Amino acid sequence: MASSLSSECSPGDLIEIFRPGFQHWALYVGDGYVVHLAPPGGYPGAGISSLGSVLGKTAEVKRELLTDVVGNCKYRVNNLLEEEMKPLPVREILSSAESMIGKKMEYGITSKNCEHFVTQLRYGEPRCLQVEKAVMGAGLAGALGAIATLAYSVMKN
């Protein structure tokens, strides 16, 4: 699957990789390669599918073959913020991505994750819709809980 989709990718595209329980994100840079935020060290694609990889405190920017990063997971091109934001020029996106390769970075699942990393490269602003949806869901759940508690209290009295 990976080799056929890489021919549909254009440099600067965001690649969403469906891992068990979360999505990993990478930036396609051409010739079958992506740049992504991954656990430091190891071999290509190592550890990215494990829960431990998303709970670490540091990450490394790596340039690896899309097929190695994807492994057996499903993935797609997903330039998720196109309706809200204009992407930077492709040359600028690729230059920024290449300049980051090999750098170790602080990693935080809710504030400095792989989706933040690639959206910063493509759009100039770090965003993570996975986190934003989770926060909104938690806020909605909290609000509904408060309303239910209030309704119960009113009905009880």
- Reported pTM: 0.77
Mean pLDDT of 107-126: 93
Residue spans per domain, the chain: 2-126, 129-157
> What confidence category does residue 136 fall into, taking pLDDT thresholds of 50, 70 and 90?
low
Q: Is the pLDDT of residue 19 over 70?
A: yes
Could you tell me how far CA 31 lies from the centroid of its own chain? Answer: 21
Separation between Cα atoms, residue 120 and residue 133, nearest integer Å: 18
- Which stretch, 47-51, 104-108, 126-130, has highest mean pLDDT? 104-108
- Predicted confidence (pLDDT) at residue 5 exceeds the cutoff of 60: no
pLDDT tens across 20-63, in order?
A: 888 999 999 999 999 999 888 755 554 444 444 556 689 999 99
- Residue environment code for 106-134, b if the CB has 16+ CB neighbours within 10 A, otherwise e: ebeeeebbbbbbbbbbbbeeebbebbeee
CB atoms within 10 A of CB 35: 24
**Active site amino acids:** 24, 36, 114
For the segment 85-104, the average pLDDT, to the nearest whole number, is: 97
Sequence-distant (6+) residues with CB within 8 A of 120 are: 126
List, as one string, the DSSP characters of 5-72. HHTT--TT-EEEEEETTEEEEEEEEETTEEEEEE-SSSSTTTTTTSHHHHH-SEEEEEEEEHHHHHTT
Q: How far apart are CA 16 and CA 5, in angstroms?
A: 12
Any idea which of 8-12, 60-64, 124-128, 143-147 has the lowest mean pLDDT? 143-147
Give the integer Cα–Cα distance in Å for 62 and 53: 14
The CATH number of domain 2-126 is 3.90.79.10: no
